[in-house]
Amino acid sequence: MKTLTIGLFGFGVVGEGIYRVLLERPELGTRIKRICIRNPEKNRNAPKELFTTLAGDILDDPEIDLVVELIDDADAALRICRKAMQSGKVVVSANKKMIAENLTELVALQTKHNVSFLYEAAVCGSVPIIRNLEEYFDNDWLHSISGIVNGSTNYILTQMSLNGHAYDEVLTKAQELGFAESDPSLDVEGIDATYKLCLILFHAFGVIVDPHSILRKGITSLHPFDMQYAHEKGKRIKLIARTNRVNGTQYSAAVLPGFVGHSSKLFDVNNEYNGLLIGSSLADEQFLSGKGAGRYPTASAVLSDISALRYGYKYEYRKHSIGVDLSSHDKTTVELYLSYPARKKIDDSVFSQIHESYRGTDRGYLTGSITIGHIRESDWLKDNTVSVITLN
């Protein structure tokens, strides 16, 4: 087993978490030598001499062999990871935006400099999804992955639906609890979930997808009317990230709110918990669940990567093939519910079938079958007065 000397970037929720955990686990044979921070004025709960504001104090130190990058500025994170790998250092990161947007370069850097770059903490916090997809499901024929990959939105939706709390109040609470991104619109608009879905797509199917090409609607357009509808039908609303392999080599991917019923394993995935259903032709359905956000759950995934690096683990990307285009002509059909202000005209011609339609005094809804491609092209997808929720 190697002993590792760590240079840590960032001392926020997760950075401080991993610092505390490593202090309590001397048997891991790792030590944090330096911590690079942006603001030297802030009071930190660690010895002053550990801190620096100069990235070079870590990146140019030959004694430091592992860089743990836990900052939320994706551009700065990319520069740090690039320089660290070029200097032959192994790297652990939790920056899903940076990784999802730069997969091709990051894979090439690992090969060129023969270094490991691990990022289990970037997807679903403590849930070990990346390494499972990479190793355990390496030989199985996966066809779908779907589930809850963002803890903040799940916390918000749970508190609204089970405890009747108001959206703004619970969003603030999610920030206070350290679940939300520093810019929480990344959570509530479903953007964070698209980054995570890209990493899932890459490790499940070996394909690189542009996160901005994923069909997406967050939770900001949801209306009390939808909560009431869910309640009456005995369902809960969750933000669901989903990907399917269609016809062997085509892929469908979307992040949309969805109604989830009792029979789904996602029904009882509440608060900051995440849950993933993995569909494979041999194992059938597998379910992984655990805390997806917060200091220690995320630190546990970082710790697991650090431990794996002690025995030289690296992702081998055996499935890695080519980039794919998630075309707007995606023919995957979903069952969809739309709700909208009663006076609004909704173009329903893009539905192949309408199952239900209702117009009340204030709000109306319809349900029907529609392809992902048609949702993408609809004029109501981007309309904030329209709720878009999947039924399956």
Least distance CB 202 / ligand HSE (angstroms): 17
Q: Is 314 a catalytic residue?
A: no
Contact 29, 4 (CB under 8 A): yes
- Kindly state whether residue 259 participates in binding ligand HSE, applying the rule CB under 6 A: no
- Kindly state whether residue 77 participates in binding ligand HSE, applying the rule CB under 6 A: no
Instruction: Report the site for ligand HSE in 348-387 (rule: CB under 6 A).
Output: none
Among 189, 192, 226, 330, binds ligand HSE (CB under 6 A): 192
H-type helices in 206-248, by residue range? Answer: 224-232
Size of the site for ligand HSE (CB under 6 A): 11
Question: What string marks each residue from 114 to 143 as x (binds ligand HSE by CB under 6 A) or -?
Answer: -----------x------------------
Phi, psi of 224 (to 5 degrees): -50, -30
Count other C-beta atoms under 10 Å from residue 87's C-beta.
Answer: 17
Contact 259, 391 (CB under 8 A): yes
Closer by beta carbon to ligand HSE, 165 or else 344:
165
Among 180, 254, 324, 375, binds ligand HSE (CB under 6 A): 180
Cβ neighbours for 291, distance < 8 A, ≥ 6 positions apart: 125, 126, 127, 151, 272, 273, 274, 297
Among 9, 19, 119, 179, binds ligand HSE (CB under 6 A): 179
> Which range of residues in 1-9, 36-44, 174-182, 315-323 is near ligand HSE by CB under 6 A?
174-182
Contact 9, 67 (CB under 8 A): yes
> Which range of residues in 74-82, 147-155, 221-229, 241-249 is near ligand HSE by CB under 6 A?
147-155
Closer by beta carbon to ligand HSE, 288 or else 391:
288
Q: Are strands 333-341 and 363-371 parallel, antiparallel or unpaired?
A: antiparallel
Closer by beta carbon to ligand HSE, 146 or else 152:
152
Q: Are strands 215-216 and 250-260 parallel, antiparallel or unpaired?
A: parallel
Q: Which residues of 127-142 are buried (b: 16+ CB within 10 A; e: fewer)?
A: bbbbbbbbeebeeeeb
Least distance CB 380 / ligand HSE (angstroms): 27
- Return d(Cα 13, Cα 378) in angstroms, integer: 39
- Return d(Cα 185, Cα 175) in angstroms, integer: 11
Q: Which residues partner with 255 through β-bridges?
A: 216, 241
From the list 89, 97, 196, 217, the catalytic residue is 196
- Kindly state whether residue 264 participates in binding ligand HSE, applying the rule CB under 6 A: no
Q: How far apart, in Å, are the Cα atoms of 364 and each of 92, 189, 217, 229, 385?
A: 48, 23, 19, 11, 11
Give the nearest residue (CB) to ligand HSE. 152
Closer by beta carbon to ligand HSE, 77 or else 372:
77
- Kindly state whether residue 151 participates in binding ligand HSE, applying the rule CB under 6 A: yes
- Kindly state whether residue 270 participates in binding ligand HSE, applying the rule CB under 6 A: no
Least distance CB 342 / ligand HSE (angstroms): 34
Residues near ligand HSE (CB under 6 A) are 125, 150-152, 179-181, 187, 192, 292-293
Catalytic residue set:
196
